[in-house]
Amino acid sequence: MQQSTTLSHADAARIITVIQRELEKNGQGAAIAVTDAHGELIAFLRTDGCKLPSITIAINKAFTAARERRPTAAIGAESRQAPFPMSNFGDPRYTAWGGGLPIVVQGEVVGAVGVSGLSEEEDIALAQLGVNLFAQ
C-alpha cells in the first residue's frame, strides 16, 4: 500500500492568501492557482486588475509544474536550448512560461502553485511565497 501527503483546501487557501496580500500591498493584479499533485485545481483567485488571459495561464502553470514535478521556467529554459513544441507533451495545457512551481513536502510533490499577470520574474517570486509556506 502506498501512502502520500496531499494538500488540503485550507493549505491552498493559505497559499492564495499570502500571495494575494503581496499583490495588494504592491497594487498589482494577477491570477493565482493551486493544484494537487496531479495538476488538478484545488483553489483559484483572480485579483482586481488581473488581465483575463492570466486566468488560464496561471492554472496551466500550476498544472505543468505539478505534472512535470519541476518549475515551468526550467521547462522553458530547456525548450529554448533544444527547441521543440510544447505540444510534444501531449496536452495543450502545458506551458513553458515561468511562474509555476511544484510544492514539495518530505521529498514528495504534493501540489503546485501558478501565478500569472506580471513579468515572469515577478510571477516566479510570488509563486515562491506560496511554496515557502511548506519549506522544510
Q: 14-39: b or e for each residue (b if 16 or more CB lie within 10 Å)?
A: bbbeebbebbeeeebbbbbbbbbbeb
d(CA 136, CA 55): 30
Output the pLDDT for position 47: 97
For range 33-54, the mean pLDDT: 97
Output the pTM of the full model. Answer: 0.93
Per DSSP, the residues of 27-52 read: T---EEEEEETTS-EEEEEE-TT--T
Q: State which amino acid sits at residue 103.
A: I
Domains of the chain: 9-132 (3.30.450.150)
State the chain's mean pLDDT as an integer: 92
Q: Which residue has the higher pLDDT, 85 or 53?
A: 53
Residue pLDDT, tens place only, 64-98: 999 999 999 998 877 766 666 666 667 788 898 99
d(CA 66, CA 70): 7
Q: Among 21-30, 76-85, 102-111, where is mean pLDDT lowest?
A: 76-85
Q: What is the percent of the chain where pLDDT is above 90? A: 79
H-type alpha helices, the chain: 9-25, 53-68, 72-81, 120-132
Output the pLDDT for position 83: 65
